[in-house]
Amino acid sequence: MFRTLRGFFSSDLAIDLGTANTLIYVRGKGIVLNEPSVVAIRQEFGARNSRSVLAVGAEAKRMLGRTPGSIQAIRPMKDGVIADFTVTGEMLKHFIRKVHEKRLFQPSPRIVICVPCGSTQVERRAIRESAMGAGAREVYLIEEPMAAAIGADLPIADPTGSMVLDIGGGTSEVGVISLGGIVYSHSLRIAGDKMDEAIINYVRRKYGLLVGEATAEKVKKDIGTAWDDSEVRQMEIKGRHIADGVPRSMVINSKEVHVALQESLTGIVSAIKAALEQTPPELAADIADKGLVVTGGGALLRDLDRMLREATGLPIVVTEDPLTCVVRGCGRALEETETLSEVFVHE
């Protein structure tokens, strides 16, 4: 009853609880929060021996890899699902309060959260429980390919096939949608994080230099490319030399990064081909005519569309503002709950 009462003082939210970033869409306002999914926890030893949240979001991300023994910077989401239930709940609670800053009462909103299409019942239940624990009044789950397709404004209600690829932080999702339902979907755990990892491994193997996740991510964003013949760019990176044990800097170019990313990109292309193989011929014809829509942070990788076009033979359409595409889709589902009630996941 109190939750219902508090609901009057809360704004309904759509959350893209991503491995890399958490985005929140507030009903009637739009996207109000875009922060990294990182939480810094302070472990207090001694008499108190308790854990407390030190920082959440961008502030916590700056602490990644730079923390003393008493502080842990945690990414509570891994491969698109919850890796640390308690910390995820704390993070959600923090974000929900942040978007309800000027409210007198503790917020109790209705929340739409997207989940990877390959997530298990247990993983979905964990996300739902985590949101409920953060104060949600009601929680609706929506699969990421569907949210991405709605966010990209694809004609999902029409009797025509629409194919969407969402390359996120922890997972990449491929989905074929027609008549408001998912005809085929596949989730693979190759995405931004795996690309960063691939860059770290490449630099360590080739140059014996150990770089952090933040550095690898910056390399990927600044000079990373998916196409071999892209314009060559280079940047300086710093890390610890494995043999000498001292900090060193070196210059890496985009061709090397492309080599590092090749394995991940091949995995994504294979998933697209597998999806096309599994798609009914009529829908495959529609997709061949219209093309593949790419969303998610991974779509910002330079010349990804070109590579995919060559690899799949499909027209490739990168959506505008691909980073927010999923949360925009969740937001539209939230705004049009009556119309789009069928797209929610029913357990």
We find the least distance from the C-beta atom of residue 129 to another protein, in angstroms, to be 26
Task: Give, to the nearest 10 degrees, the angle between helix 254-278 and helix 192-207.
Answer: 140
The binder of another protein chosen from 293, 327, 330, 334 (CB under 8 A) = 293
Q: What is the DSSP string of 247-297?
A: EEEEEEEHHHHHHHHHHHHHHHHHHHHHHHHHS-HHHHHHHHHH-EEEESG
Tokens of 254: 């985009």
316 lies in the site for another protein, by CB under 8 A: yes
Alpha-carbon span 230 to 41, nearest angstrom:
42
What character string, x for contact with another protein (CB under 8 A) and - otherwise, covers 247-266?
--------------------
The reply on whether position 183 binds another protein by CB under 8 A is no
Told to check if 144 binds another protein by CB under 8 A, we report no
Whose CA is closest to 113, among 87, 140, 134? 140
Cα distance between residue 165 and residue 245, in whole Å: 41
Site string for another protein, 91-130 (x = CB under 8 A): ----------------------------------------
Q: In Å, how far from its chain's centre is CA 332? A: 18
Per-residue string for binding with another protein, 321-340, x by CB under 8 A? ---------------x-xxx
Q: State in angstroms the smallest separation of the CB of 167 from another protein.
A: 16
Residue 166 in the binding site for another protein (CB under 8 A): no
Residues in contact with another protein, total (CB under 8 A)? 33
- List beta partners, residue 250: 237
Q: Is residue 212 within the footprint of another protein (CB under 8 A)? A: no
Closest CA to 24 of 12, 11, 36, 13: 13
Per CB under 8 A, which region of 71-79, 151-159, 166-174, 244-252 contacts another protein? 151-159
Should residue 244 be labelled a site residue for another protein when binding is judged by CB under 8 A?
no
Which span (72-80, 105-113, 126-134, 311-319) binds another protein, by CB under 8 A? 311-319
Which is closer to another protein, CB of 180 or CB of 212? 180
Binding another protein (rule: CB under 8 A), the pick from 291, 296, 297, 298 is 291
Which residues on neighbouring strands pair with residue 182, listed in sequence order? Answer: 177
> What does the longest C-alpha to C-alpha distance in the chain come to?
67
Would you state the structure tokens that stand for residue 80, as one six-digit string? 């698109």
DSSP letter assigned to residue 331: H
Query: Residues in the site for another protein, rule: CB under 8 A?
Result: 150, 152-158, 160, 179-180, 286, 289-291, 293, 305, 309, 313-320, 336, 338-343
